[in-house]
Amino acid sequence: MFTTALAVPAAIVIALTAAARIPAAAAELIRACLSLIQAVHELRAALAPPRPAAARPAVPRTGRPRPHGTVQER
């Protein structure tokens, strides 16, 4: 009985000590995952075929750009 009375508080102290380390370990794991995600994103961008350049918007004969959403008459 005396041994159990000493073992229970000792187990509680050990469990609380381990539980106090969980947030720091979880934060370190998340930081490592973010670095991994960034590296995978950069690798994917490096291996992807290049995108074609965007077409330049048409400029009317006046030399001024057309307002957005208007159609050039022919």
Return d(Cα 74, Cα 59) in angstroms, integer: 13
Predicted confidence (pLDDT) at residue 66 exceeds the cutoff of 70: no
Q: pLDDT per residue over 5-60, tens digit each?
A: 899 999 999 999 888 888 999 999 999 999 999 999 999 999 988 877 776 666 55
Q: What is the dihedral of CA 52, 57, 63, 68, to 10 degrees?
A: -160
pLDDT of residue 48: 86
